[in-house]
Amino acid sequence: MVSRQLRRRDSGAAPELEQSGLHPLLARLYRARGMQSAEDVDLSLKRLLPPCQLRGADAAARLLADALAANQRLLVVGDFDADGATSTALALLALRALGAASVDFLVPNRFEYGYGLTPEIVALAAERSPDLIITVDNGISSLEGVRAARDLGIATLVTDHHLAGAELPAADVIVNPNQPGCEFPSKAIAGVGVMFYVLLALRAELRTRDWFRQRGMTEPNLGEYLDLVALGTVADVVPLDANNRILVAAGLARIRARRARPGILALLEAGKRNPASVVASDLGFAVGPRLNAAGRLQDMAIGIECLLCDDVPRAAAMAAQLEALNAERRNIERGMQDEALVVLASLDLHHHDSADLPPAVTLFEPGWHQGVVGIVASRIKDRLHRPVIAFAESEPGSDELKGSARSIQGIHIRDVLDAVATRHPGLLSRFGGHAMAAGLSLPRAHYTDFAEAFVAEVGRHARDLDLQAIIETDGELPGSDMHLELAELLRYAGPWGQHFPEPCFDGRFRIVQQRLVGERHLKLVLQPDAGDVVDAIAFNIDTERWPDPGVEWVEAVYRLDVNEFRGRRGLQLVVEQLEALS
């Protein structure tokens, strides 16, 4: 594993924050994350960006309002990850509440149809005779699929957040903050957030048409669906800018009040999380993976049905089914990761210092599961601090490979793939994605050439980038601050997440006790230089290095956490990095 260099965040000065009555540590942490004033801390819904700023939202509202008035058949085509599942569930629930007479969903099976609105998916959709196809969390690169729908006389509304290519699909309306000409400030909004904004615009349009009064309907409170928006936003690991933090905070508040979808509550309980004390990381680490397991191994329809379900016992049964799929996913992933590490060992990569490593890594093994390669790429990327693409056969023995790419800060992976495709026409069959993650496919015969071109292109992009792995901390924490009350304060001071990282600290500790728990977790009792002993745990440690009875003092990077065990709450440090001190 690549060693990580510590870098402490610079908090600077923000007099307004410091005078707002916040705990001094919290004021410092917020300053280090770009906040300047008490207004920045305000996460009330009144501070949400207005839908009118999102290009295409008003046109989408008119298209949908006309469709509702004409009793048209609407078909939502989603993606097979948690963002796609929550977007699909949100669209169905809200459109029905707004008065849609006929709305259904279709999610491509990733193993048969691949990603997005393909012509094959349109042919499948046409069997249901829709008047309007609404894509959620996909569609911006579906040129052929939109064309196929148009040829069949089916209108299309594309709602997406992925980066647009050189050509846009000829849809009736496109809503995507990352399309050319869109001035919407929150480019980081997830697919489920885009759909939520379309629904806000639609409700406003229906209001102007006197739709609700004429039909004797109660105007729905779209805030009731913010639990879905929060889940999709966190699970898609988009940057938590101010607008996304408002959406996530409102959704978390609904979940804590047990006013969430029965499926979300059931998935939290399956992940042994208490809904009353849920935070963003619980959605990311407990709910998201269980929902994603359906799309990775079978069919995301199971996950969507779980989110749509209003019946508590049935939701619990579906959550149990997703829990079983997630356990299977973990077993597959563990085997693939072990194989990937064997491949790395044969390449003699993982023992090198950062300076000796190639700028990027590609991995492929016949028999790998295409639904899990993204997680393997992510794990290896974390080990090497390099962009990684893991490939699997699209089906056993196939001549086509499907890859999942994960990147590091400073290297925009979709731009890298675009540059490879431009320099080497025909090498890639298709690709798409974000700055940090992307998907691609290519003929098996092109794998070696692609691997060389990819490493070379990353090298060009990384020329002025320090590829040393950096771990940022918020500095030292006095032993007197290591107490449960501060841990509770920090826990609920988020939502923390991508680009708004949870506070972590660094310090020197004496090891009082250390033992292995589970297969790869190190349970510790630590004592700071000045202060009382404190419980700690380091997850997924290198069992060749730890536990080590010969080590007395360590440098640790850690988070304050609240450990709930048998009804008791106590302080626990979650150790992110542990280095022995001589």
Cβ atoms of 336 and 365 closer than 8 Å: yes
Q: CB within 8 A of 290, min separation 6: which ones? A: 267, 270, 271, 319, 322, 323, 325, 326
Q: Is residue 23, in this structure, part of any structural domain at all?
A: no
Whose structure tokens read 């048209």? Answer: 72
Q: Output the CA–CA distances (angstroms, integers) from residue 432 to 164, 404, 440, 454, 510, in the order listed.
A: 9, 10, 7, 15, 48
Look up residue 512 and give its two tokens: 């009082």
Could you tell me if 249 and 382 lie in one domain? no
Q: Output the CA–CA distances (angstroms, integers) from residue 192 to 47, 226, 445, 455, in the order listed.
A: 19, 10, 37, 33
What's the pLDDT tens digit per position in 221-270? 999 999 999 999 999 989 999 999 999 999 999 999 999 999 999 999 99
pLDDT of 3 higher than 80: no
Q: For 554-569, give the DSSP string.
A: EEEEEEEEEEEETTEE
What's the pLDDT tens digit per position in 22-31? 999 999 999 9
Q: What is the CATH number of the domain that holds 378?
A: 3.10.310.30
What is the rounded end-to-end Cα distance, in angstroms, of the chain? 20
| The model's pTM | 0.90
Question: Which of 461, 488, 503 delimits the end of a domain?
Answer: 461
Could you tell me if 124 and 215 lie in one domain? yes
Question: Which of 461, 494, 517 delimits the end of a domain?
Answer: 461
d(CA 263, CA 322): 11
Could you tell me if 424 and 515 lie in one domain? no
Q: Is residue 34, in this structure, part of any structural domain at all?
A: no
Could you tell me if 407 and 427 lie in one domain? yes
Edge to edge, what strands does the sheet with 132-136 contain? 102-106, 73-77, 132-136, 155-159, 173-175
Q: Is residue 201, in this structure, part of any structural domain at all?
A: yes
Could you tell me if 313 and 407 lie in one domain? no
Could you tell me if 291 and 380 lie in one domain? no
Could you tell me if 83 and 211 lie in one domain? yes
Could you tell me if 373 and 284 lie in one domain? no
If we measure between CA atoms, which residue out of 194, 175, 295, 305 comes closest to residue 243? 194
Q: What is the CATH number of the domain that holds 522?
A: 2.40.50.460
Whose structure tokens read 């699970």? Answer: 235
If we measure between CA atoms, which residue out of 567, 504, 502 comes closest to residue 280? 502
Confidence of residue 352 (pLDDT cuts 50, 70, 90): very low
How far, in whole angstroms, is CA 432 from its chain's centroid? 16
Question: Which of 432, 461, 490 delimits the end of a domain?
Answer: 461
Q: CB within 8 A of 435, min separation 6: which ones? A: 407, 412, 413, 414, 415
Could you tell me if 486 and 556 lie in one domain? yes
Angle at 535 between CA 547 and CA 507, to 5 degrees: 80
Look up residue 429 and give its two tokens: 């069959």
Q: Is residue 224, in this structure, part of any structural domain at all?
A: yes
Q: Is residue 14, in this structure, part of any structural domain at all?
A: no
What's the pLDDT tens digit per position in 142-163? 999 999 999 999 999 999 999 8
Q: Residue 547: is the preceding peptide bond cis (ω within 30°)?
A: yes
Could you tell me if 309 and 407 lie in one domain? no
Q: Is residue 467, in this structure, part of any structural domain at all?
A: no
Could you tell me if 129 and 167 lie in one domain? yes
What's the pLDDT tens digit per position in 323-351? 999 999 888 888 988 888 887 777 665 44
Question: Dihedral, CA atoms, 321, 326, 328, 333, nearest 10 degrees?
Answer: 170
Could you tell me if 252 and 179 lie in one domain? yes
Q: Is residue 20, in this structure, part of any structural domain at all?
A: no
- The residue segments making up the domain with residue 525 are 472-581
What's the pLDDT tens digit per position in 177-204? 999 999 999 999 999 999 999 999 999 9
Q: CB within 8 A of 62, min separation 6: which ones? A: 205
> Residues 395-405: what's their mean pLDDT?
90
Whose structure tokens read 């508590």? Answer: 312
Q: Is residue 110, in this structure, part of any structural domain at all?
A: yes
Q: Which of the residue ranges 101-110, 217-226, 423-432 would you say has the lowest mean pLDDT?
A: 101-110
Amino acid type, 582 = S
Q: What is the CATH number of the domain that holds 235?
A: 3.90.1640.30
How many structural domains comprise the chain? 3
